[in-house]
Structure 1
Amino acid sequence: MERVTKLASERPVVIFSKTTCCMCHTIKTLFCDFGVNPAVHELDEMPRGREIEQALTRAGCPTLPAVFIGGEIVGGANEVMSLHLSRSLIPMLKHAGALWV
């Protein structure tokens, strides 16, 4: 979990993803459309990606993508979309320094 915490704090928005996951692609596209430049870690391309995925599951994010904003775990695609639909995502991104609009 130490490695996850370190990676999750490298930018205002960090996404743990898999290249073959359609929901991961959707969430990455959503953030990019907002003008956010997230750090994306493709777990299926990382040497110890499986270990990171297991640590994310233990941390309470059982599905990918696993999204961190401001170093805090937000959750997966459902949680991100719920925040977006409730108009809470943009303020959260601004507060984390990911958006300056």
Structure 2
Amino acid sequence: MAATAAACQALWLKRLLSAITGWKEKKITIMVDNKSAIALTKYPVFHGRSKHIDTRYHFIRECIEEDHIAVEFICGELQKADTLTKALPRIKFITMRELLGAKDLLQDKDDRD
């Protein structure tokens, strides 16, 4: 369900940026840390545990079939989105901040002085 919501938002942003900038639209890659969710997006296997998923959440499967979106696995330890959604220990926060390419402005100020 979260991957479908992310796909909807990503497609909207892609189309908005394409309209504003005139750039050609490219395929979006969504990084997911749940192998079962990835399997459901690629292979429509219906069984007792997946029958409760509403049909609107199968939108991502259509996006993958039409080659608008790619879904790839990423280890939970490297999931950059955790920085924005979870309270992280200081060391993990610093690691994630570096992966995002963000810098500590206070530290940069000390380096310039």
TM-score under structure 1 normalisation?
0.28
Give 1 or 2 for the bigger CA radius of gyration: 2
Greater strand fraction, Structure 1 or Structure 2 = 1
Greater helix fraction, Structure 1 or Structure 2 = 2
TM-score under structure 2 normalisation?
0.26
* Bigger relative contact order, structure 1 or 2 (CA pairs below 8 A, ≥6 apart): 1
